[in-house]
Amino acid sequence: QVQLVESGGGLVQPGGSLRLSCAASGSISTIYAMGWYRQAPGKPRELVAHITSSGTTVYANAVKGRFTISRDNAKNTVYLQMNSLKTEDTAVYYCKVAAGGEYWGQGTQVTVSS
């Protein structure tokens, strides 16, 4: 079993920055892909960014140039640096890890508001 603990969400003004972290622990042999998703009220969950074990990244068009995903394989941790935040970035952000199965974090709220 794999446990994911997310941190770093909060309230920020438009134009501000936040950094999310997601640490994986438990019965981990190999972590393949890691990613961040988000779900705003009344909307489906959507991919924000994805990073493979070799470091290849994919971003949603809405966050390209503003968000950066990275990972520390030694710490089994994935990060999401979010800059130039907009009100439409407000959502619950979830991390997902592929490690012999797919595992989701509990979600962390990000609210962008003045």
Is pLDDT above 80 for 62?
yes
In degrees rounded to 5, what are phi and psi of residue 73? Answer: -65, -30
| CB-CB neighbours of 30 under 10 Å | 9
Dist CA 27 CA 46 (whole Å): 27
pLDDT at residue 32 in the model: 86
Is pLDDT above 80 for 28?
no
In degrees rounded to 5, what are phi and psi of residue 105? Answer: -80, 175
pLDDT at residue 26 in the model: 86
Query: 99: part of which helix (H) or strand (E)?
Result: none
Is pLDDT above 90 for 8?
yes
pLDDT at residue 29 in the model: 76
Average confidence (pLDDT) over 41-67:
96
